[in-house]
Amino acid sequence: MSADLRPGDGDGTRCVYAGLPGAVPGEPFLPGPVFAAPYHLDPWQGPAASPNGYARMDSPTRRLLEAAIGELEGGDCLAFSTGQAAVTALLLTVLRPGDTVLLPTDGYFAVRAFATATLEPTGVRVRYAPTAGPYPSFEGVRLLLLETPANPGLDVADVTALAAAAHEAGALVAVDNTTATPLGQRPLDLGADVVVASGTKALSGHSDLLLGYLATRDAGLLDAVRGWRTSTGAVPGAFDAWLAHRSLATLDLRLARQSANAAAVTELLLARPDVQGVRWPGRPGDPAYPVASAQMRRFPGIVSFDLGTAERVGRFLTAARLVAAATSFGGLHTSADRRAQFGDDTSPGFVRLSCGVEDTVDLLADLTAALDASLA
């Protein structure tokens, strides 16, 4: 924890100060990125004298970022080059031939694809359950991976209840916290053993870098995953780590506007008979709301809905002025993508909309005009 932070500090304060080094006259608040691959070694002790020997294994810029994310998640953190690198590091560190992993049927498609292409051929048994349940028995399961809210359908899993049941059966519990971010929920506090996430999305929030991370309070698991990361080299570069740490300072502010925009957009979409399947876990009438409202501290800026056909989605995105066609989410600019074109098993007209930080009235006016135009 930064020397300037106290346990009772609020989200905004924690985001601003997380991971910053102690105050030293003449030194910057956040030191710039250290662009080094090798470092000078002690002639006698070699790498034992300092953690900085070779940047694949450690670097001062990455350590500051890891301290910051660890402060927000409530555990020790390892940063990765992407979110996919973080989750695959966990899977390949924990699972062995004959083990069983339980994955969400409605979670990130690339994880399911990795399980089919890589885990199953090595002898790992892969089972699936929908995020909202029902769940099978956890007997014999080595790892339960939850993604809540799920991407892109936005269902929510009861982490506390599922973690208790999985632990009773001897399973390890991991939660993908990408959509919620650590300000939306802290899975380690809810009973999970490990958190994985993509920092590319809302955590860094500027659509200008790739990043992933893993956080846990289990020192043995952390050491095992660190060994995997060192061996495979799946680390972020110094500049990306520095950009991500810089961006964390505004996370609280960005999420507040994105969530407010998502609430307003949800009501707009629900009022239109030409839009179907509107989902946002922060709406009291949403199927996920009962669990989400008890578990989450704030709701994400992601809304999903269905326009019926791929052609209408194309017309909508073409007509929109403030909605960019893009496949990531959580950035400053509102964006949307038709998930079926990326291999997700969603309907042709399913849209994942990521609300940015534009003025709410401007965003609603633009969405209304674009939806009207898409009917032509």
What CATH number did the domain enclosing 369 receive? Answer: 3.90.1150.10
Task: Output the pLDDT for position 167.
Answer: 98
CB-based burial of residue 166 (10 Å sphere; 0-12 exposed, 13-18 middle, 19+ buried)?
buried
Task: Output the pLDDT for position 43.
Answer: 93
Task: Output the pLDDT for position 3.
Answer: 53
Residues 2 and 20: beta-carbon distance below 8 Å: yes
116 inside domain = yes
**Of 181, 216, 236, 190, residue with least CA distance to 90:** 216
Q: Which residues on neighbouring strands pair with residue 198, listed in sequence order?
A: 212
Confidence grade of residue 340 (pLDDT, cut at 50, 70, 90): confident
Query: Is residue 93 located within the same domain as residue 186?
Result: yes
Query: Is residue 229 located within the same domain as residue 98?
Result: yes
The residue among 248, 265, 289 that closes a domain is 248
Global confidence as pTM: 0.96
Task: Output the pLDDT for position 7.
Answer: 85
Reported as a single tens digit per residue, the pLDDT across 183-222 is 999 999 999 999 999 999 999 999 999 999 999 999 999 9
Mean pLDDT of 165-176: 98
Query: Would the pLDDT of 16 be above 70?
Result: yes
285 vs 156, 290, 291, CA distance in Å?
Answer: 14, 9, 12
Neighbours of 40 (CB within 10 A): 10
Query: Is residue 44 located within the same domain as residue 123?
Result: yes
The residue among 207, 225, 248 that closes a domain is 248
351 inside domain = yes
4 inside domain = no
- The CATH number of residue 80's host domain is 3.40.640.10
Give the total number of structural domains in the chain. 2
Query: Is residue 315 located within the same domain as residue 200?
Result: no
The residue among 248, 265, 283 that closes a domain is 248
Pairing of strands 350-354, 335-338: antiparallel
Query: Would the pLDDT of 30 be above 50?
Result: yes
Q: Coil, helix or strand for 231?
A: helix
114 vs 84, 99, 257, CA distance in Å?
Answer: 9, 16, 34
The pLDDT mean for the chain works out to: 96
Mean pLDDT of 323-342: 94
Query: Is residue 342 located within the same domain as residue 244?
Result: no
Query: Is residue 39 located within the same domain as residue 113?
Result: yes
Domain residues for the domain of 355 are: 253-374
Pairing of strands 302-306, 276-279: antiparallel
Query: Is residue 207 located within the same domain as residue 257?
Result: no
Query: Would the pLDDT of 4 be above 80?
Result: no
6 inside domain = no
Query: Would the pLDDT of 2 be above 70?
Result: no
Task: Output the pLDDT for position 1.
Answer: 42
Query: Would the pLDDT of 290 be above 90?
Result: yes
Query: Is residue 75 located within the same domain as residue 192?
Result: yes
